[in-house]
Chain A
């Protein structure tokens, strides 16, 4: 398995036991390579296994069969604590519904990942949070509650949060799903800027053709299998 790749999956399978008995297979033998610095969009119909694949790549689901390595780290070999630390340092998450903590200010939300495991001086964390908010155009909103921001602004805060510890991989689940077209375009441009500036790898799950078009590569899933990898529209 190559260690220069961002993600390497071989024969990746994910099955879930149903409450009433029986098993459903969400992913069924997925082989996937994602190069470092690549932007990959995962598309497919609902239930095709997109989010399952994203959760596995994002290391929040480890109940898989097959092999999965992220930046050369075989995830199965990590225990629960190591996996949390891996997520903290290597992976940034961006969600469709932003998932900012409403009781914290914008700045505190951005600094949140530094609360877990990262041994970084508070002053440095704060400086970096200010810098990231400047970068996403929200430098003056540091002390505001996130509820006072628009959807696009909240998503930019979420992206700043995901970038705080400078992870080499961003996993984004429908990042523009709650945004209007113009705002979505701004977010996509931001992703491009991030990749250009930091060399960050981005894996995006989307239904949005615009998002899919902005990716370097498109991975189409059907019934848990990769039906194609191309730049054609979903």
Chain B
């Protein structure tokens, strides 16, 4: 039978039984719409909600531990050093692996006056991360590859410049903050021996910088007020080393160069070094938590976007704590840090610093070996599908998922099974629609039996008749499927619009809850088509077996 003629006859039949076919199509439209809707919702929740909080293809592994008398004790395979990180990198499906260290020292931080009008104070927690681990993500978040290089405007301070630019030599210049995320920033780190320094050289009680001149001495301005708890002792500061001594300081020292500040050696002196601020990376979720949960109670205005946080400086007091015993005051240091980017690998309630900085302070304040083992390893897998295999392989090497990754897996599983349940529900609706199609076509075949007999009389085979009925069902499935897909899409748009309107203050609210993978529409159409064709299969067979002589005789 010619396809064009088949289509013509099929359309004719659909037109003739318009109301009945439309009613039969309702179930298919609803079922397909539900299927598509839930597929999009499941994928959207995974990609836009879960993946924002816990990137699915990133795993945080820790050495396996067991509870012994209520405390976690690491068991098995020895220290988590570079060789074990390399071992994890070799696992199939793993793209990259990096060790990280958590801060083991007390610290607190304060800042935010530039944005909020007053400083916020909090205990501080740090993750020390290799710079390579975050570099690509920082650049992506900052859109570093698309930095504007427009006409430079005159300025006095950074605030005179638009976002993405800073004031350099009285001109606004584009800045790529992620470029400031360096392993060894120009920071004066106190030391006693050479092996405490990453550069391997300790000079005058400070680690020498690799491939850089020594940092200049400076004197804090009394009015600088480097923190509310500083009790500057001018006398003690002034009785330090004389101006002409090696590495000495001068009361009349020049101000620090641009982009540097004077960091005191310890809280009880005005003497310090001109340093760069510590490059700090924060998790973008921190901003959402602040905006949705904290800003109101703190009387602060929610921060509009991540962009305004680039370059913001805050103060860090190493060895000083709100909650626990402080380090001896000479061991403490007050420094500045600067937000240079955002990463979902950074701790949600903490700050990521270069690994060497955290390792240094872990050693100085807690005595940990600076080249000692990592606390955890971050793995990046090639894709989400590789994750279960990588977890299994890592577990066999003596690792277990960190609590964060475990929570991510659990949340992922909950979303997956919920979406699966909803998709199954949609499939049940489609199956019921298929039964409805079967009933409708059984009736249609019965009503058209005379017409079918005439077709048989003029030369149609039983197969031609079956193809005609199935073609009609397929067309119904296709039209119903298209309508269902369109309905699902409209539903998704409506739900997203309603969510933006009614749930604006809910944390982690994505721009949209739905992601329709490219395969979802063809799949929904295919399922709709199959349901209709299967539903019409029995009536089609019955039509093909119709005895034309008997039907014509009945007439």
Contact = CB atoms under 8 A, between A and B. Distances in A.
Interface of A: 51-52, 55, 58, 60-61, 80-81, 84-85, 87-89, 92-93, 95, 97, 99, 101-104, 108, 112-118, 122, 161-162, 173
A5 B6 CA distance: 36
A95 B555 CA distance: 10
Nearest to B5: A115
Interface stretch (B324-332, B414-422, B460-468): B460-468
Given A60-B548, A60-B552, A95-B552, A103 B457 contact: no
A87 B458 contact: yes
Nearest to A165: B459
Given A101-B9, A113-B458, A116-B460, 17 more contacts: A52-B549, A52-B553, A55-B552, A81-B461, A81-B463, A84-B460, A88-B458, A88-B459, A93-B458, A101-B12, A101-B451, A103-B12, A103-B15, A104-B9, A108-B8, A116-B458, A162-B458
A117 B8 contact: no
Contacts of A81: 461, 463
Nearest to B548: A60
A161 B459 CA distance: 12
Contacts of B457: 58, 60, 87, 93
A115 B456 contact: no
B456 A60 contact: yes
Given A97-B555, A112-B458, A55 B549 contact: yes
Interface string B1-20: 11011101100110110000
Contacts of B16: 102-103
A87 B6 CA distance: 19
Interface in B73-132: none
B451 A117 contact: no
B12 A60 contact: no
A61 B453 CA distance: 11
B280 to A, nearest CB: 74
23 contacts: A51-B553, A60-B456, A60-B552, A61-B549, A81-B461, A85-B459, A87-B457, A87-B459, A88-B458, A88-B459, A92-B458, A101-B454, A103-B12, A103-B16, A104-B9, A108-B8, A112-B458, A114-B5, A116-B1, A116-B459, A116-B460, A116-B461, A117-B459
B450 interface: yes
B1 A80 contact: no
A21 to B, nearest CB: 18
Contacts, number: 81
B459 A118 contact: yes
Nearest to A118: B459
Nearest to A100: B454
B461 A99 contact: no
A65 to B, nearest CB: 15
Nearest to A82: B461
Nearest to B550: A61
B461 A103 contact: no
A108 B458 CA distance: 14
Interface in B443-492: 450-451, 453-464
| The 3 residue pairs across chains A and B that have the minimum distance between CB atoms | A88-B459, A103-B12, A61-B549
A20 to B, nearest CB: 17
Most buried by A among B12, B454, B464: B454
Contacts of B460: 84, 115-116
Contacts of A88: 458-459
A161 B458 contact: yes
A118 B5 CA distance: 12
B553 A55 contact: yes
- Chain B interface, DSSP helix/strand/loop, else mixed: helix
Nearest to B551: A60
B17 to A, nearest CB: 10
Given A80-B462, A104-B12, A116-B461, A99 B456 contact: no
A56 to B, nearest CB: 8
Contacts of A80: 461-462
Contacts of A117: 459, 461
B480 to A, nearest CB: 20
Nearest to A115: B5
B552 A115 contact: no
Contacts of A108: 8
A85 B459 CA distance: 6
A112 B549 CA distance: 19
A63 B130 CA distance: 87
Nearest to B13: A103
B458 A104 contact: no
Most buried by A among B2, B4, B453: B2
A46 to B, nearest CB: 12
Contacts of B458: 87-88, 92-93, 112-113, 116, 161-162
Contacts of B549: 52, 55, 60-61
Contacts of B1: 115-116
A49 to B, nearest CB: 11
Contacts of A55: 549, 552-553
Contacts of A51: 552-553
A145 B1 CA distance: 23
A122 B549 CA distance: 30
Contact of B450 (A93, A99, A104): A99
Contacts of A161: 458
A116 B456 CA distance: 9
B53 to A, nearest CB: 57
A122 B455 CA distance: 19
Contacts of A93: 454, 457-458
A81 B544 CA distance: 12
Given A60-B456, A108-B8, A116 B553 contact: no
A113 B16 CA distance: 20
B287 to A, nearest CB: 63
B555 to A, nearest CB: 7
A99 B454 CA distance: 7
Contacts of B462: 80, 84
B131 to A, nearest CB: 71
Nearest to A26: B553
Nearest to B14: A103
Contact of B8 (A87, A102, A104, A118): A104
A163 B172 CA distance: 89
Contacts of A95: 454, 552
A145 to B, nearest CB: 11
A102 B16 CA distance: 8
A84 B454 contact: no
Contact of B459 (A97, A102, A113): A113
A14 to B, nearest CB: 10
B19 to A, nearest CB: 14
Nearest to A104: B12
Contacts of B461: 80-81, 84, 116-117
